[in-house]
Amino acid sequence: MAKILAFIDGSVYAESVCRLSAWAAARMGLPVEIAHVLGRRMAGSFDLSGSLDVDQRTALLDEYARLDAQHAKLAQAKGRALLETAKTIVNNEGPAAETRLRNGDLLDALSDLEKDAQIVVIGKRGEAADFARLHLGSNLERVVRTATRPVLVAARQYLPFDRFLIAYDGGRSANRAVEFIATSGLLEGMKATVLSVGADTAENRSRLDAPVRRLREAGLDVEGLLLPGDPDEVIATHVGTNGIGLLVMGAYGHSRIRSLVIGSTTEAMVRRCKVPVLMFR
């Protein structure tokens, strides 16, 4: 069954992920599946090398096993509590929600659960992220590199919006974004801007024609803009000063960031823009 798939942890982004997932689900007429993945256990960080006799090692191993079992029990309880709170948030927004508590690696859970997902939602940063340095969560990059579905990255706070911007570079992922917006109904009725950054040339202006025409054919109120400057700066400034509530972009471009899924421009946008970012591979 088609769904919106949301991953949460214990970070301050969890509520925003839930509300953003509920918004997307309501717009597309879908339920939400909320997943929390319990990470690796204590094993692997416990070193018994050194000058310990057999009795000492046995005693330490017994104590380790007890602590590990206690840690696992607490993690399970925390995970269930997080999921119950998340389900309540989504239900209060309207859509139906189911929960999944998984053990193991996040990417394994993603592979198992995303098959029927239309969108995968995750927070910009996780529990261990460094807010002072604006570090992105490592799980965000792992999910974007692996997911076969569009990834919707939640900002720290969810705010309703009625305008979105597509950062368009003519690449394959940008065109995928345009087609998804035109056909999914996710952003129906909202005002759209297709922004391309580059010199004011006939070639660059004509590059905007196809995406603008496609979105207008789908019934969207859309404008095309071509602005000069550095892409990171131009996109972030336009988002911040024009009431843009959602940034849509390819997770990597067709030019200088071929080797990375989250390349320089994409990473800068996710870090600098205080709005959700919908990314396409």
Which domain CATH number covers 249?
A: 3.40.50.620
In a domain, 134, yes or no: yes
Q: What is the pLDDT of residue 47?
A: 60
In a domain, 97, yes or no: yes
Per-residue tens of pLDDT for the chain, all 281 residues: 899 999 999 999 999 999 999 999 999 999 999 999 997 654 445 565 566 777 777 787 777 778 877 878 888 999 999 999 999 999 999 999 999 999 999 999 999 999 999 999 999 876 555 444 444 557 888 898 899 999 999 999 999 999 999 999 888 999 999 999 999 999 999 999 999 999 999 999 999 999 999 999 999 999 999 999 988 889 989 999 999 999 999 876 544 433 333 455 566 667 778 899 999 98
In a domain, 254, yes or no: yes
In a domain, 195, yes or no: yes
How many angstroms from the chain centroid is the CA of residue 168? 19
Shared-domain flag, residues 133 and 198: no
Whole domain around residue 256: which residue ranges?
A: 163-280
Q: Percent of the chain having pLDDT more than 90?
A: 62
Q: What is the pLDDT of residue 136?
A: 54
Q: Which of 130, 154, 178 is the last residue of a domain?
A: 154
Q: What's the total number of domains in the chain?
A: 2
Q: What is the pLDDT of residue 44?
A: 47
Q: What is the pLDDT of residue 221?
A: 97
Q: What is the pLDDT of residue 258?
A: 35
Q: What is the pLDDT of residue 114?
A: 96
In a domain, 70, yes or no: no
In a domain, 51, yes or no: no
Shared-domain flag, residues 143 and 174: no
Shared-domain flag, residues 114 and 92: yes
Q: What is the pLDDT of residue 68?
A: 72
In a domain, 24, yes or no: yes
What is the pLDDT of the chain when averaged over all its residues? 86
Shared-domain flag, residues 113 and 213: no
Distance separating alpha carbons of residues 187 and 23, to the nearest angstrom: 11
| Element spanning 107, H or E | helix 106-113
Q: What is the pLDDT of residue 154?
A: 95
Distance separating alpha carbons of residues 26 and 17, to the nearest angstrom: 14
Shared-domain flag, residues 224 and 101: no
Shared-domain flag, residues 181 and 242: yes
DSSP state of 135: P
Shared-domain flag, residues 14 and 137: yes
How many angstroms from the chain centroid is the CA of residue 17? 9
Shared-domain flag, residues 33 and 169: no
**Measuring CA to CA, how many Å separate 246 from each of 20, 163, 186, 218, 253?**
11, 7, 12, 19, 19
193 in Cβ contact with 244 (< 8 Å): yes
Shared-domain flag, residues 9 and 113: yes
Span 61-105, pLDDT tens digits: 777 778 877 878 888 999 999 999 999 999 999 999 999 999 999
Shared-domain flag, residues 86 and 131: yes
In a domain, 67, yes or no: no
Span 97-135, pLDDT tens digits: 999 999 999 999 999 999 999 999 999 876 555 444 444
* Residue entry with tokens 């400057």: 229
Shared-domain flag, residues 173 and 126: no
123 closest CA partner among 37, 242, 15, 250: 15
Q: Which of 88, 120, 154 is the last residue of a domain?
A: 154
Distance separating alpha carbons of residues 123 and 119, to the nearest angstrom: 13
Shared-domain flag, residues 148 and 30: yes
Q: Which amino acid is at 143?
A: V
Q: Which of 131, 154, 177 is the last residue of a domain?
A: 154
